[in-house]
Each structure stands twice: as C-alpha cells, then as structure tokens.
Structure 1
Amino acid sequence: MSNPLIAALDDAVVEARSRDIPLGARLRFVADRVRDLSPVYADAVDVFVGRLESVDAGTSAPQVGDVMPSFMLPDQDGRMVTLDGLLRNGPAVLVFHRGHWCPYCRLNMAGVAEIEARVAPRALVAISPERQQYTRMMRSDAGAGFPFLSDVGSGYALSLNLAIWVDDAMAQLIAGAGKDIPEYQGTKGWIMPIPAVFVVGTDSRIIARHVDPDYRRRMELADILSVLERLDSKAA
C-alpha cells in the first residue's frame, strides 16, 4: 500500500513542474504542501535544518576562487566521467543533489534539464550518492540528457566538506515515509550531500557556488545562466 503523504507529494511535484514560475517558487509550493499534509514532518525538517545551520554546515566547502578537486565517477550507464574531461571544452556546471526519492531534488533536476540546451556546449552533470539504477530513474524522470553521476559512499562530497550525517530522528521520519536511503545508496549509513551548485572554469577554479543546508532552497536557474552569460561576455 502506498504512503498517502508520499502520493500527495508526488502529485505536488507534478503540479509544481507544470507551473511557469521560478524554481524557488516551485520548491516553496512543495514545502507548503508538506506543511499542510504533515505539520509534524515539516517541524522536524525545520529542526534538522536549524541544527545544520547552527554549525555552519557547508561553509567549509570549496569557495569561489578555489581549485575544484578532481574526480572520476561513473555515470548512469557506468561510463567513467572526470572533471578534467568535462572542462576540455569550456566551463562546467556541477549540481549536487540528494537523490530520486527527494521531491525537492526531483524539481531541481527537472528545472536544470529545462535549461540544459542553454548551458550547452558547456558541460553539465548531476552528482548524488545513489546507485546507477536510481540515477537512471532520476535522469529519465527529469527528462535530462546530461550525465547523472554516482558518488558511491558520498566519498567525493565528503572530500569537499559537503556531506552531512542524517540524525536518527530525521532518518526515522524518512524511513517511516517508505524511503530506504541505505538501499538507494548501497550503503548502511545515512550520509547525504548538501545540495549545491559549482560553476567551474577551465582552469579548475570555482567561478560561482551555491551551497545551502536547507535543501528546500536551490540555486535559481536564472542565476546559473547569468553566471555563464557573464563568462561569455568576458570571453568576447
């Protein structure tokens, strides 16, 4: 039997995706629906996010001007992708998300897919700790053509100070909603990346970043495009 909350949230995601509004407004629509459907869950998220904000989670991740550490990660079909390879033909946009089970991430990645053609020919990739069967699912759901990479065990996110442990209270709430995070990730632990976007130049230095421990907020699509447009103007 399906979980009524999850079914209602799936409907909310579908409705939000159909609206011609900024990504932030779509995310707030789902957040408001969560609060309407389950105030207890929404309050628990507020506590969880507040704890992350109180310890400045994500602030020690690479900053603008820093060199982005290299990586080699498999895409949804098992092909290995490297940062150096992505940067061969120009800057790259790296989008970290929690996984296919997260309604905010589904909205985020569907939104990024909407601007994929405008990002091209620059490289664009999504990175999550999920196994390939779930990255394939997420990519298909988003209608994306760019690679969805598996950061197994959140190793790369951990190296960036971008990963957090999910406390027992939040883990129990997520599991109680029928989401088996260890199964999705192929691990026993509850580690997730803080959703983030890094725009990386051909010299591997970070040109722009957005890191927010409140996963209900993401970098606006227009802001990503604005960064790339500024790069084009400088190049011209």
Structure 2
Amino acid sequence: MKKALFTLFAAASTVANAQNAVAKTATDIAPLLIGEKIPNSTLKSSDNATVSLSELISKKKTVLVFYRGGWCPYCNLHLSALAEAEKQILDLGYQIVAVSPDSPENLKVTAEKDKVKYTLLSDADGTLIKEFGIAFEAPENYKSVINVHSNGMNTSFLPVPSVFVVNTSGDILFEYVSPDFKQRINADLLVSVLKTLK
C-alpha cells in the first residue's frame, strides 16, 4: 500500500513539476488542457496594483491571452485585432485579459500604442506563465530585450503565445496554443468559437 501511494505521489509530483518547468524550446511545452482548472496567481496591473486572477475571472467569463511583450510586432498586431473585436466579445458576455512578462510601466506603453482598453497584466517573474505550462527558454538574441521590458525581472523565458477561454470557475473551455509565434488565432475565428461556447 505504501509503495502504491508513493508511486501515485511521485507521478503527481512529476506532472506538477512539468507544469512549472521552463521547456527548452517552444515545441517542448506542456500547456494546461481543456477541462483543467487554471491556477490562481497574483499579477500586477499597469498601475502596479496587485490583481488576483481568480477574483478577476470570477466576475465574468474570460478570454485570457498570453503574449510575449509589447516589443513583439506580432503580439501588437494580435492585441490590436482583439481591441477591434472587443465590443463583439463583450456582447457575448466575455472580458479580455492579456498577460505578458512586461513590467507594469511597459503595459501602459503597449495599451497606448495598440489602442487597448481591455486589461493588461504583468507576470514579470513568470509564475503564472510557468504554471500554465507555456514558458520556454528564450533564445539568446531575445534575452536583453525581455530583461529591459520586464525591468530586470525576466532574463531567461518567453511564453508561447496562447489564448485560453475560461469560465467564472476557472475551467478551461477552449485554448489556442501555437509554438510558432507568428501564428495567432484570428479575431473572427475567436468570436465564432465564443458563440459556440455560449
């Protein structure tokens, strides 16, 4: 019996550690899956206020977006496209929350540049990104950029750009995770998905 319990505990620990590990490459990640519950984490707003993710999503179904940072042109295009589709998304009963390793100060720059009115949050130390299983080791040529944009809190990882749709209990209803950072879910397709989930 003790051996069986130890084996079960070891297996559970391995899964938990895999979720919190930083993968070697973007194709090695092990993201949370549809049907799983997202972890709670404390993030920072653009005003440097502390935000509880579980409290935030308990208010409204959420389109939770992870992006690499305001320095990434593909991320900026994606954030702008979401901003354009925001009214449709809100009308379907969802809010948009976008998370990156950028510092709170840099979130403000991104919001102004991309005309974003929805919530941008900072996960500069990568706690939530790692818990979602989408962190991977940043290539050398990105390290100075992410260091600057996270105000020195991140020197080593990037999130794989991802979109998770979650209900108010934190259950994942849909996800789009692409190791190719140039590939993002089209805003029209996302709206169609939200309509089917309604």
User: Which category describes the TM-score, using the shorter chain as reference length?
Assistant: 0.7 to 0.9
1:13-64 Cα offsets, whole Å, 9 max, x none, are: xxxxxxxxxxxxxxxxxxxxxxxxxxxxxxxxxxxxxx836xx333x11111
Residue aligning to 1:74: 44
Instruction: Provide Cα deviations, 1:79-101, integer angstroms capped at 9, x if missing partner.
Output: 33223223334311110001111
Aligned residue number for residue 164 of structure 2:
198
Structure 2 CA distance for aligned equivalents of residues 126 and 89 of structure 1: 16
Assess, with a 3 A threshold, how the Cα gap between structure 1 residues 79 and 188 changes in structure 2: closer, same or farther.
closer
- From the two aligned structures, give the one with the greater strand fraction: 2
Q: Deviations over 1:84-127 (max 9, x none)?
A: 22333431111000111111011011111111111114221110
Instruction: Trace 1:145-224 onto structure 2 (pairs within 5 A).
Output: 145-168=117-140, 171=141, 174=142, 180-185=145-150, 186-187=152-153, 189-224=155-190
1:91 aligned residue? 61
Residue aligning to 2:86: 116
Q: Say if 2:198 is the partner of 1:226.
A: no
Aligned partners of 2:154, 2:50: CA distance in 1, in Å?
24
Give the conservation status (yes or no) of the 8 Å contact 2:126–2:154: no
Does the Cα contact within 8 Å between 1:89 and 1:122 map onto a contact in 2?
A: no
2:54 aligned partner, one-letter code: D
The residue identity in structure 2 corresponding to 1:112 is: L
Q: 1:57 and 1:201 mapped to 2: Cα distance?
A: 27
Residue 140 of structure 1: aligned partner:
112
TM-superposed CA distance for 1:181, in Å, is 2.1
Match of 1:44 in 2: none
Deviations 1:148-182 (A, max 9, x none): 100021121112211111233xx2xx47xxx6321
1:62 aligns with 2:62: no
Aligned match of 1:36:
none
Shift >6 Å, 4+ stretches: none
SS at the partner of 1:153? Answer: coil
- In the aligned structure 2, how far is the partner of 1:125 from the partner of 1:189? 24
- Provide the aligned C-alpha RMSD in A: 1.9
Whether the 8 Å CA contact 1:86–1:123 is kept in 2: the answer is no
Of residues 113-122 and 136-145 in structure 1, the stretch that sits farther from structure 2 once superposed is 113-122
CA distance in 1, matches of 2:56, 2:186: 22
- Give, in angstroms, the shift of residue 227 of structure 1: 2.1
Identity of aligned residues (%): 28
Count of matched residue positions in the alignment of Structure 1 and Structure 2: 172
SS in structure 1 of the partner of residue 126 of structure 2 = helix
Structure with the bigger percentage of helix: 1
Q: What is the one-letter code of the residue matched to 1:90?
A: K
Aligned equivalents of 1:89 and 1:187: distance in 2?
A: 30
